[in-house]
Amino acid sequence: MNAFDSDQDRVVHLRAQIVIHNEAYHGRDEPTVPDAVYDQMLRELAEIEERRPDLLTAESPTQMVGSAPSEIFAPVEHKAPMMSLDNAMDLQELQSWHERVLKGIGDPDSCGLVCELKFDGLAVSIRYEDGELVQAATRGNGRVGEDVTHNIRTIKDIPHRISGAPEVLEVRGEVYLPISGFESLNKEQLAKGQPLFANPRNTAAGSLRQKDATVTANRKLAFWCYQLGEVIGGPRVKSSKDTFELLKSLGLPVNPEVAEFSDFKEVERFCESWMSKRHEPDYEIDGVVVKLADLAQREALGSTSRAPRWAIAFKFPPEEKSTRLIAIDVSIGRTGRVTPFAVLDPIFVGGSTVGMATLHNEDQVANKDVRPGDIVVIRKAGDVIPEVVGPNLADRSADSKPWVFPKVCPSCQMPLERLSGDANTYCVNRRCPARIETGISYFASRNAMDIEGLGERTVRSLVEQGMVNDVGDLFALTKSQLMKLLVSDSSNETLVNNLASAIDEARERPLGNLLIGLGIEHLGPTAAELVARQFRNIDNIVRAEPRDIESIDGIGPVIAQSLRDFFDDADNKAIVEKFRVNGVRLDLADDEMDLPQVLNGRSVVVTGSLDGWFLTRDEAKRSIVARGGKAPGSVSKSTYALVVGSEAGQSKLDKATDLGIPIVGEAEFRHLLETGELS
């Protein structure tokens, strides 16, 4: 492979990964990688594009901000883009930025700099007209955000009306959840027996994007404003100092930790000072924002397509803390994969308490040489994934011994296997209790048989008591059995009744859902629906030869052989018979068979989450297939329409726009499923 190909391939890979992480962070408020990892990926991409300008496109993540706005809320087009900031990961990079600024303005003696804390919250724009709050929006993709006006009105820091305000006043700032409020909220969750929130930033973002404003109001969010957007009819503002004085005079909340310097050394000292006391405020910060103080100089320097040249974010390094590694244990997944994880003395790091951290596989444990009893360094950058960095060897006891990966499964005591060339180790015993438990949980999950109330603890009890040996046994359970097993007091009787009802309702789930729940390797939701509609019942599928399965448009030889192998297995055939005996539907329902094939031959792509709509994304794809259509994973010239959910993939949106493919929301999608036509 030549250098050209190597660069091009790396750019394609990086862009795809960054888009995914953008959607998770900005769209779902569920970051999937640490900030430091994301920043490094973005930086690498920018470096390649700088070296190879022929690979730079307008759609590159380096040229864009945030993610696509959610369709749950009305879109708001920003009068001026809400841009992101470039990052300086250390003082040397901050110095380099400063040198570029000095060169750009051409007058080093007049370069005043203002330092502000970088809040870890959700950027918003709030618009006042004649002093009245008329609109609030999230940043979205920088150009178009989400209308969150009703929710913004519930935040006490934000006035609904401002006396003496300009004719039009747009203020920009950060919605956040105070740490004390976050802790109180989790105490309430704990008292209610409900899941705890992960960290203040994600909680704040999720709270602001609630359909029900009363939920937002109960979260006690707060707000700092730091910038002006569109202003009509107000006083002339020439500097950062003027900006903050105007905001404060209008009664808008401004963070007190703002400082202006003419000496760059003072800027460095400010950054270092706040790095050491980052946990002192009652709000989360992850860096310092450094800006030119003079607004005319800002305008002269201008911006790139995604970030101003006159400002930069000095990012604090990933937070690391030390704690004791109590033990190393392993978990067994439904496929038999064995994953080691560290059991830690709980430590608060990166915005949440960490008690466990994955160690991935045997090789990772060996390479890091972490051992039970070690004092280990834990990193949790971006409040996302806890990582064991490594041990503190100076604190290691003299009698410490390397951890040895188990040779037998801790659940079933059968030998574990690791194939040549595979980093993972497996329990191949399909009767392994741990595998059975995870398999039943998967079977009961929302996108499969959707058996509400069949949680992990209940599944474990059923397996341990010998009441359930596989998913087929679920439908033989009686209410009296569940009562004996699960009812410790009268208050639990309702839960048992609900679970019994949920199991009963699951008997009538579509055949496609049943196939998904069986966990057949390589068989996804769309393929399951195709197979179900082609063969109409489970018996035809069991008898089908690979060539018959492969003849289905959209089904390849891998899936075909996987289906054949699954139903050749005697244990799996026995599960099917248990379904039959216990009244589980094994064929297409009449209403499924009678669906008009209005999408015959048409490709409809679904992107984003449809949760909260009338169906999930997987269900949407199955609905398309059930009407004769195709539901591929990517947009192409042959795509008839792109259905957009709440965190739509930016790359799919961009490609659909470039190709002139219709982009539809919920109402249009309903119409499409009913008629086969776009409204």
Which residues are annotated as catalytic?
Answer: 118
CA 226 to CA 156: how far, in whole Å? Answer: 17
β-pair partners for 322:
377
DSSP state of 31: -
Q: Give the count of alpha carbons within 13 A of 352, CB side only.
A: 20
Side-chain-facing half-sphere of 357: CA atoms under 13 Å: 28
Provide the pairing of β-strand 639-644 with 663-664.
parallel
CA angle 570, 572, 577 (to 5 degrees): 95
Distances (CA, A) of 83 to 140, 145, 293, 478: 10, 12, 18, 59
Sorted by sequence, the CB contacts under 8 Å of residue 478 that are 6+ apart come out as none
User: Residue 132 and residue 164: Cα distance in Å, rounded?
Assistant: 11
One-letter amino acid for residue 604 of the chain: V
First to last CA, the chain: 48
Residues with Cβ within 8 Å of residue 141, at least 6 apart in sequence: 64, 65, 66, 67, 68, 69, 650
Q: Please count the CA atoms within 13 angstroms of the CA of 493 that sit on its side-chain side.
A: 4
3-22 vs 35-51: helix crossing angle, rounded to 10: 140
What does the alpha-carbon distance between residue 42 and residue 180 come to, in Å, rounded to a whole number? 33
Q: How far apart are CA 123 and CA 115, in angstroms?
A: 18
Beta strands in 10-166 (DSSP E): 75-77, 87-88, 113-119, 122-129, 132-138, 144-146
The Cα–Cα gap between 196 and 660 comes to 44
Bridge partners, residue 415, by sequence: 408
